[in-house]
């Protein structure tokens, strides 16, 4: 039986899938995390009610920085879990990837583990740090791999 060569997903397919995923994560952030921000902000306001609420008191500044950090960590955790759980699932991709018809596999075409998907997610930070060049590599490498794919030992291919 002859094995067929996988059809690699290039930069533009991956880009459109990423845009879809960012819209989904944006909606989830708005619906779930904005109320959290409101509650934390209200708690900061209530905690400072005995002070002049001028926005310059140390308690207010600490409360706002804490709120920002909690919000940022919550978004990071949601994003990480979304990508890692979806890409390591039987479908092999996020909702954006499924909509476009692409999936993430290991180098032999098998499903990736949650650990590998987690490594791939956090390797994207390196792809971003070098002026997004790590992402652009998907348009120029033989197997259409971005830097984070190479580091995690993954391929992004068209779904069967």
Establish if 1 belongs to a structural domain. no
What pLDDT score was predicted for residue 41? Answer: 66
Establish if 74 belongs to a structural domain. yes
Establish if 81 belongs to a structural domain. yes
Confidence class for position 63, pLDDT limits 50, 70, 90:
confident
- Judged against a pLDDT cut of 70, whether residue 105 lies above it is answered with yes
Instruction: Please state whether the predicted TM-score (pTM) of the whole model is above 0.95.
Output: no
Q: What is the arithmetic mean of pLDDT over 93-106?
A: 98
Domain tally for the chain?
A: 1
The number of beta carbons lying within 10 Å of the beta carbon of residue 109 is: 14
The Cα 18–Cα 30 span in angstroms is: 18
What pLDDT score was predicted for residue 53? Answer: 54
What pLDDT score was predicted for residue 6? Answer: 93
Percent of the chain clearing pLDDT 70 (strictly above): 87
Rounded to 5 degrees, what angle do the CA atoms 152, 158, 160 make?
115
Q: Which domain holds residue 31?
A: 11-158
């Amino acid at each position: 039986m002859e094995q067929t060569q996988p059809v690699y997903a290039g930069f533009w397919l991956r880009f459109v899938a990423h845009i879809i995923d960012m819209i989904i994560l944006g909606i989830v952030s708005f619906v779930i995390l904005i109320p959290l921000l409101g509650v934390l902000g209200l708690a900061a306001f209530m905690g400072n009610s005995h002070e002049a609420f001028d926005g310059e008191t140390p308690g207010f500044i600490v409360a706002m920085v804490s709120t920002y950090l909690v919000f940022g960590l919550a978004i990071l955790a949601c994003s990480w879990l979304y990508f890692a759980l979806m890409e390591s699932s039987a479908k092999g991709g996020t909702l954006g990837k499924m909509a476009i018809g692409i999936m993430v596999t290991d180098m032999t075409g098998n499903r990736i583990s949650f650990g590998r998907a987690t490594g791939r997610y956090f390797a994207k930070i390196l792809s971003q740090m070098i002026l997004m060049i790590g992402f652009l590599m998907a348009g120029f490498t033989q197997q259409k791999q971005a830097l984070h794919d190479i580091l995690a030992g993954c391929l992004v291919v068209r779904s069967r």
